[in-house]
Structure 1
Amino acid sequence: MNDKRLQQDLQRLYGSHVTALNAPPRAAVLELARPADWSALGAVWRGVQSDLGLPAPAIAVNGHDGFQLWFALAEVGMATQAAELLPALCRAYLPELRPTRLSMWSAAMATAAPALPPQRQEQQVAGEQWSAFVAPDLAPVFSDEPWLDTEPGPEAQAEVLGRLACISPAQLAAALEQLGARTGSTSPPQAPSAQPARPMAPVGLVTNGADETDPRRFLLRVMNDEAVAMALRIEAAKALLSAPAKP
């Protein structure tokens, strides 16, 4: 995969190019797996924005059994604070989950770095399974199959990452203070006066001027229709992620 726009967004957010195999030093990753559960991890994704005033982390399916949140750090030196942030978020938003279902990584942690999406996962069965960044609207339909069975389109991946921003040192320090990470408090944070982050549009979706014949609009309607079989909703989401974005 060699797409200039995707490379630029990965470099801007994480200090890494698309060819990198492992998480770069400016990333922090929280994973919930075995099984994948977006309803639980989605509470963290919403909370870091509405409660803590942080930029939205990227959402990814790991290609086999879970969801990930990829936090972008403005500076490499923030890794130690990020190592405090991740368990504090778990205490605040995921207190009832078994620790064995959670994985955390920052450059300050002595744990194996996860692979930077998009990556093809090695499987013992026929077919392909890819990790990929996904838009919030698409995440829920991947709970049963947290992967793509075709290589993600680089334009669609760039469309997801292009809306995201890095966490500044001041933002991270304020979030840690509010979470009570340094004092060991497990109380849920109180929402600040800042407005919640604006919801992101689905990958590659053109929301203005789309008519009933627009294939992306059709796929989105299928994906969001609870009366449609889940297998078809998943296929619609995968099609949105794999298709090139409209110019």
Structure 2
Amino acid sequence: MQKLTSELQRLYLFAGQQHDAPSIDLVKDGMVRTLVIDFHKAADEQHWARLCDVANALQTELGLPAPAVSVSGGECYRLWLSLAQPLPEAQAKQFLALLHKAYFEDEEIDFGRSQVDLPPVQNRATGLWAAFINPSMGGALAEDLGLEMMPPEAAQAAFLERLGSISTEEYQQALATLQRKHGAAPVSAPSSPAVATSNDGLLLKDATLEDIVRHLHAMGIEPTFRHVLKH
């Protein structure tokens, strides 16, 4: 538990903030430390494809670190963007709005959200567990969007320990890129996803179930989630 708590504090909590409740404050004293983007369930697993498009664009087009990926326990996938230095709320909302316009404008977004459930936590409405996930297994959870059992804390920590926060320089460069994109021409969401082969970088959309299990075993993690097998 200590390792997982340390990773959550490193990435998503304000200095001195304790993780002692199912949800965390996204805004504290007018500042924002974490940006969370929801991708709600859609037909033909388009919510997973859209998340992959956006996550890849954040890295390849904007030069940002790989975000964490989670399932909410029933409603959506989520991308988690960690800021090394908290931003004033107005600036954080502006940045999120620019991302929304550039890459996922057809996805509903709550710009006024001030709290979010922090995995791992059980979804009170569905009984499924919200959890951070290995990006290569995300497609297998497109239907349930949650786990039937509480995920192992060691696995949750392992998914987070390789991730980094967005530095001030990276944020400024990404902001400038987005402003140039919007100033040059109307922006639409990417139509073809990038595909990568490393958990350290872009998301894997085409990994097989065997690939997923082999990868987790290589990390010393025994999978306990239920996969949805497609026939």
Kept after mapping to 2: 8 A contact 1:85/1:181:
no
Kept after mapping to 2: 8 A contact 1:179/1:188:
no
Higher strand fraction: Structure 1 or Structure 2? 2
Percent identity of paired positions between Structure 1 and Structure 2: 29
Whichever of the two has the greater Rg, that structure is 1
**Displacement of 1:26 after TM fit?**
1.2
- Relative to 1, partners in 2 of residues 1:229 and 1:77: Cα closer, same or farther, differing over 3 Å? closer
Kept after mapping to 2: 8 A contact 1:30/1:68:
yes
The answer to whether structure 1 residue 139 and structure 2 residue 141 are counterparts is no
Cα displacement string for residues 1-36 of structure 1 (whole angstroms, at most 9, x for unaligned residues) = xx0100110111112554342244411111011437
* CA distance in structure 1 between the partners assigned to 2:222 and 2:35 by the alignment: 35
Q: Which moved more, 1:46-55 or 1:72-81?
A: 72-81
- What is the match of residue 205 of structure 2? none
* CA distance in structure 1 between the partners assigned to 2:171 and 2:180 by the alignment: 11
The 5-angstrom pairing of residues 1-247 of structure 1 reads 3-15=1-13, 16-20=17-21, 21-24=23-26, 25-35=32-42, 37-77=47-87, 79-95=89-105, 97=106, 99=107, 102-104=108-110, 110-123=112-125, 128-180=127-179, 186-187=186-187, 199-200=198-199, 205-207=216-218, 229-230=229-230
**Quick one: which amino acid aligns to residue 147 of structure 1?**
G
What SS does the corresponding residue of 1:76 show, helix, strand or coil?
strand
TM-score normalised per structure 1: 0.69
Kept after mapping to 1: 8 A contact 2:181/2:187:
no
**Displacement of 1:111 after TM fit?**
2.4
* CA distance in structure 2 between the partners assigned to 1:14 and 1:181 by the alignment: 29
**Displacement of 1:79 after TM fit?**
4.3
* CA distance in structure 2 between the partners assigned to 1:197 and 1:172 by the alignment: 23
* CA distance in structure 2 between the partners assigned to 1:114 and 1:198 by the alignment: 30
Cα displacement string for residues 77-133 of structure 1 (whole angstroms, at most 9, x for unaligned residues) = 3544332222222222224x2x4xx224xxxx532422111111113x6xx311111
CA RMSD of aligned residues (A): 3.5
**Displacement of 1:229 after TM fit?**
3.3
Unmatched segments (≥5 aa) in structure 1: 190-195, 232-247
- Relative to 1, partners in 2 of residues 1:141 and 1:78: Cα closer, same or farther, differing over 3 Å? farther
Unmatched segments (≥5 aa) in structure 2: 27-31, 190-194, 201-211
What SS does the corresponding residue of 1:131 show, helix, strand or coil?
strand
* CA distance in structure 2 between the partners assigned to 1:82 and 1:122 by the alignment: 28
Q: Which moved more, 1:46-55 or 1:16-25?
A: 16-25
Kept after mapping to 2: 8 A contact 1:28/1:79:
no
**Quick one: which amino acid aligns to residue 116 of structure 1?**
L
**Displacement of 1:151 after TM fit?**
0.7
What SS does the corresponding residue of 1:205 show, helix, strand or coil?
helix
Q: How many residues align?
A: 202
